[in-house]
Amino acid sequence: MDERYNPHEIEPRWQRRWEEEKLFRVEADPGRPKYYLLEMFPYPSGNIHMGHVRNYTIGDVVARYKRMQGFNVLHPMGWDAFGMPAENAAIANRTHPARWTYANIDTMRAQLKRLGFSYDWEREIATCRPEYYRWEQWLFLRMLEKGLAFRREAYVNWCESCQTVLANEQVEAGQCWRCGRAVRQKKLWQWFFRITHYAEDLLEYCDRLPGWPEKVLTMQKNWIGKSLGAEIRFPLENGGGEIPVFTTRHDTVCGATFLCLAPEHPQVLELSRGTPQEAAVREFVERISLQDRSAKALERYEKEGVFTGAWCRNPVNGRRMPIYTANFALMDYGTGAVMSVPAHDQRDFEFARKYGLPVVIVVQPEDRPLSAEGLEEAYTGDGVLVNSGPFDGLPNRRAMEAIADFLAREGRGGRAVSFRLRDWGISRQRYWGAPIPVIHCPRCGIVPVPEAELPVVLPEDADLLEGGRSPLPELDAFRRVPCPACGAEDARRETDTMDTFVESSWYFERFCSPDCTTAMFDRAAVDYWMPVDQYIGGVEHAILHLLYSRFYTRVLRDEGLVAYKEPFTRLLTQGMVCHETYHCPEHGHLFPAEAPLEGASRRCAHCGREVTIGRVEKMSKSKKNVVDPGALVERYGADTTRLFCLFAAPPEKDLEWSEQGVEGGFRFLNRLWRLAADWLPHLQGVSPYDGGLEGLEEPLRGLVRKTHETIRKVTRDIEERFHFNTAISAVMELVNTWSAIEPGKDSSPACRAVVRLALETVVRLLAPIVPHITEEIWSALGQEQSLLLCRWPSYREDAIERETALVVLQVNGKLRSRMEVPAGLSEEELRARALADETVQKFIAGKPVRKVVVVGQKLVNVVA
């Protein structure tokens, strides 16, 4: 072994060997227990960033660890390759999205390989390839047949700069999740997946996913947003018809004094027609629909509305109620109409006060009686019904039941459930996506592309148009097709493409049989590998990707294609990678390298001015607080990079990047290397010590014990909670203990055997974390087989037992002394020894001992 630790020489060498010997390749093997470890596949944006490195390092450690535990581990990698950045880049660089994407994939694959991740590269997939998306199109047709895919005209979230529609899940605080531009409402014909069909099931199963973080499940539950309530239909005063309303407070129905319809509600314009209000309503509706979402969010407390000119009757007490249209009523939720009870709902209250509408109290709290005139805010608590005719005197909770029954009897409504979850809009007016396989025929309507004609290949010779518009609608070669049903020449192919979240909703199944040409996947392979045992990725996908995948899996199941309902048994959401931000008064945000440390402060490398050190924030290009993994690997190697990612914080927490911390990791590996090199000449041909503690003297005895204790600790830390940081520190402790023994000083066979055991253990425990340096030391020890094929070490109980115990002595709960006693003393014995202790005596100072608490072999507390 070389004297110097040189990662740049050893790392590529081992990577080559792993690849040549195909050590990462796996096959389904029903005779062996499987473990499917998956990390969220990346969008091929051009370069691997620190977030990827962290995510994939965590995954790689688990994959390698499980492999050493004897599992048949599936650990694949691929590319979420469709999407808008490719189009933007294509325009900016005058290239084609496909060329840009494939070039990025090549770069990023090389970067991943350089980090030594144990992927089975023969299973690599890119979702933009027709062999992949043809099966997505195939399933789309099945969904179409079943009504799970459908088309309707709807108000959709429209992003002007992306020139496309966004799903509700893709709108964050009124802004586009991708570019940040304010989203506005636009009415368009769109394709949807009926995810609401599974709302109840998706919600229910949230409680059957014990391996998922509580936080993610809570987010999903809130997103699905089930509420129990009632539907109440309000008959219109003039002529027929009624307006259905969803409410969770049907107990307050007698306090409803007016109705509010969403401005987009189909009946709004109809109701106002011919009334003096017609013009005012039209103007209001127009104004509100032009408002974008963020403007609406900002004006959240500015309630406004207009009387439509129409009236309805309260179906319970017959009260005559004006119908308004109001900006706070959402077409998206419930029925798009609200019964307004100003006394018991804050929004309705504000609205009523603004427009001078009546307030009627129907729920009286027991402690303080309310009056309609004196009311300063809505009362939303419980109480007893008043002003409610036959329901007066009922506690409001019970009144809910009674009123629901009443409504059902009268044919005016009844119990109802409402979900917040909307159907998933999957149409994108984009080019770089999977084509939706249907044809519009003027005679036959929507005609599915015949299965034999799949895939509908995205034409790769198209050039993008100015503003990023999709070329597909103008590409006759693509768009003009004869109708498959009637042969009409003037049929037109659908030019919308699918949301890229569709591709990522089933890629984990495709990994099981990536080359399958006859179906989405090979059933036997999926039966063996799926579901994913451990999924790892960022929390940012807590709703979008994870909910869509759960939905898609249900579709596959109902199609009889898979046997399970949930795709991911365990989920780990890793924290973000953060870094300090640097800001120069003249040059703005600076990269870490542009703000070198000078003593305690930092100066701008361009102008020498002092740099303000900002808060620690998520690494982002715009703030320039990024560290390039490539540069890091070049400087320290892959092992150091991996080590620091794992050591700096437990995986679920945010990681604060620190140059000095990386340096520390590098130092540890150097130290391990040197120690190994120093000992190696003494360990040739020596077998590792395999006994218990008998017959060993200190310090060897201590080292053997520490070795076995470390195996136990590291195994638990990885197995139970993926706490690699504490696992690594345990190994560091073992190395510290070992390094106290000087090489060559004690040449006894026992010493050599014990040290060999310690070294081999360190190497095996660190193998999943820093695979290259450990392989190198392992082979220098004379081992011919790769560490990858080596089993995870196990510990001996009889090497961990201690013959003495350290017992802590407290007086009145305060630590006063300690004593070393032979292991296995009785409580009586411990109590006696504790009371006899000099320091304890001093602190009880003659006071009577009231109580003595003995805790195991660890602690005695004397209460005096």
Partner RNA sequence: GCGAGAGUGGCGGAACUGGUAGACGCACUGGACUUAGGAUCCAGCUCUGGCGACAGAAUGGGAGUUCAAAUCUCCCCUCUCGCACCA
Task: Tell which positions 664-703 bind RNA, by CB under 7 A.
Answer: 664-665, 667-668, 670-671
Q: Which is nearer to RNA, 256 or 788 (CB)?
A: 256
CA 43 from centroid of its chain's CA atoms? 15
Contact 491, 479 (CB under 8 A): no
The nearest distance, CB 704 to RNA, in angstroms, is 19
Considering only 8, 461, 812, 823, the residue that binds RNA (CB under 7 A) is: 812
Among 621, 653, 791, 802, binds RNA (CB under 7 A): 653
Q: Specify the DSSP class assigned to residue 563.
A: S
Give the contacts of 238 (CB within 8 A, at least 6 positions apart). 310, 311
**In the block, which residue shows the tokens 């892959």?**
638
- Rounded to a whole number of angstroms, the minimum distance from the CB of residue 225 to RNA is 5
Radius of gyration of the chain from Cα atoms?
A: 34
* Rounded distance between C-alpha atoms, residue 553 and residue 548, angstroms: 9
Closer Cβ to RNA, 728 or 799, answer by number? 728
Residues 6+ apart with CB under 8 A from 405: none
Establish if 462 lies at the interface with RNA (CB under 7 A).
Answer: no
**Rounded CA separation 696/92 (Å):** 71
Q: Following DSSP, what letter does each residue of 37-69 receive, concatenated? A: EEEPPPP--SS--HHHHHHHHHHHHHHHHHHHT
Residue with tokens 């560091």: 732
**In this structure, are residues 861 and 810 in contact, taking their beta carbons and an 8 Å threshold?**
yes
Min separation Cβ 246 and RNA, Å? 5
Instruction: Spell out a b/e string for 497-519, using b for 16 or more CB atoms within 10 Å of the CB, else e.
Output: bbbbbbbbbbbbbbbbbbebeee
* DSSP structure string for 722-789: --HHHHHHHHHHHHHHHHTSPTTT---HHHHHHHHHHHHHHHHHHTTTSHHHHHHHHHHTT--S-GGG
Determine which residue in the list 12, 661, 691, 699 makes contact with RNA, applying CB under 7 A. Answer: 661
Residues 119, 223, 548, 778: which binds RNA (CB under 7 A)? 223
788 binds RNA (CB under 7 A): no
Nearer to RNA, 91 or 852 (CB): 852
Q: Out of 95, 196, 248, 289, name the contact with RNA by CB under 7 A.
A: 248
* Nearest distance in Å: CB 472, RNA: 30
Considering Cα of 352, then 357, then 361, then 367, what sign does the dihedral take? positive
Q: Shortest approach of RNA to residue 507 CB, angstroms? A: 23
Could you give the CA distance from residue 453 to residue 440 in angstroms, rounded to a whole number? 16
Whichever of 107 and 168 has its CB closer to RNA, that residue is 168
Report in angstroms how near the CB of residue 28 gets to RNA at its nearest.
36
- Residue given tokens 């308004």 in the structure block: 324
Q: Which is nearer to RNA, 297 or 486 (CB)?
A: 297
Number of other CB atoms surrounding residue 20 within 10 Å: 8
> How many of the chain's residues bind RNA (CB under 7 A)?
90
445-448 and 258-261: which strand pairing? unpaired
Q: How far is the CB of 342 from RNA (least distance, A)?
A: 11
CB 207, min distance to RNA, A: 14
Q: Is 330 in the site for RNA (CB under 7 A)?
A: yes
Task: Read off the DSSP letter of residue 610.
Answer: B
Q: Shortest Cβ distance from residue 858 to RNA (Å)?
A: 5
- CB nearer to RNA: pick between 748 and 839: 839
Proportion of the chain in helix, strand, coil states, percent, rounded to 5: 40, 20, 40
Q: Which is nearer to RNA, 45 or 227 (CB)?
A: 227
The residue range among 139-147, 387-395, 405-413, 649-657 that interacts with RNA, by the rule CB under 7 A, is 649-657
Residues between 371 and 430 that touch RNA (CB under 7 A): 418, 420
State the Cα–Cα distance between residues 478 and 462, nearest whole angstrom: 10
Of positions 607, 806, 836, 849, contacts RNA by CB under 7 A = 806
152-211 binders of RNA (CB under 7 A): 168, 172-173
Nearer to RNA, 268 or 447 (CB): 268
Answer whether 194's CB lies under 8 Å from 150's CB.
yes
Nearest-approach distance from CB 740 to RNA, in angstroms: 7
Tokens 């000119």 sit at which residue? Answer: 309
Please, what is the minimum distance in Å from the beta carbon of residue 300 to RNA?
A: 5
What is the SS3 assignment for 338? strand
* Candidate residues 43, 65, 192, 246; the one interacting with RNA per rule CB under 7 A: 246
- Least gap, CB of 297 to RNA (angstroms): 6
Q: Does 804 bind RNA (CB under 7 A)?
A: no
According to CB under 7 A, which one of 296, 412, 493, 545 is a site residue for RNA?
296
Q: How far is the CB of 426 from RNA (least distance, A)?
A: 19
Q: At what angle do helices 659-683 and 771-780 cross, to 10 degrees?
A: 10
If one asks whether residue 548 binds RNA (CB under 7 A), the answer comes out as no
Q: From the CB of 791, what's the least distance to RNA, in Å?
A: 25
Angstrom distances, CA of residue 417 to CA of 334, 337, 356, 420, 674: 9, 15, 32, 10, 68
- Please, which of residues 730-749 interact with RNA by CB under 7 A? 732-733, 736, 739-740
Task: Report if residue 623 touches RNA, rule: CB under 7 A.
Answer: no
Site for RNA in 250-289 (CB under 7 A): 262
Interface residue with RNA among 110, 179, 290, 297 (CB under 7 A) is 297
The residue among 687 and 736 lying less far from RNA, judged by its C-beta, is 736
Out of 539, 677, 686, 835, name the contact with RNA by CB under 7 A.
Answer: 539
Beta carbons within 10 angstroms of residue 303's beta carbon? 20
Beta carbon of residue 859, minimum distance to RNA (angstroms, whole number): 5
Closer residue to RNA, CB minimum distance, 387 or 670:
670
Nearer to RNA by Cβ, of 249 and 493: the residue is 249
- Report the residue from 124, 392, 654, 827 that binds RNA according to the rule CB under 7 A: 654
Residue 303 binding RNA, by CB under 7 A: yes
State how far Cα 683 lies from the chain centre: 47
Residue holding tokens 């097709």? 481
Nearer to RNA, 23 or 616 (CB): 616
Query: What tokens were used for 498?
Result: 């699918």
Q: Does 118 bind RNA (CB under 7 A)?
A: no
Using the rule CB under 7 A, which residue among 813, 820, 838, 848 binds RNA? 813
Query: Taking the complex as a whole, how short is the minimal distance between the CB of residue 222 and RNA, in angstroms?
Result: 6
* Structure tokens that stand for 609 in this block: 């001015």
The nearer residue to RNA, 513 or 549, going by C-beta atoms, is: 549
Which tokens is 378 given?
A: 């809505």
Residue 301 binds RNA (CB under 7 A): yes
Indicate the residue among 117 and 328 with the shorter CB distance to RNA: 328
Q: Which two tokens stand for residue 38?
A: 């998956």
Per CB under 7 A, 345 contacts RNA: yes
Q: Using an 8 Å Cβ cutoff, are 61 and 75 in contact? A: no
Which of 163, 725 has the CB closer to RNA? 725
- Indicate which single residue of 728, 754, 770, 788 sits in contact with RNA (rule: CB under 7 A): 728
Q: Could you identify the residue written with the tokens 């406004």?
A: 304
- Peptide bond just before 531 cis, omega within 30 deg: yes
User: Of 238, 518, 660, 785, which one interacts with RNA (CB under 7 A)?
Assistant: 660
Integer Cα distance of 12 and 5 in angstroms: 14
In 115-208, which ranges are continuous DSSP H helix?
130-146, 199-204
Q: Which of 257, 308, 327, 504 binds RNA (CB under 7 A)?
A: 327
Query: Which residues on neighbouring strands pair with residue 182, listed in sequence order?
Result: 175
Which residue number, 92 or 740, has a Cβ lying nearer to RNA? Answer: 740
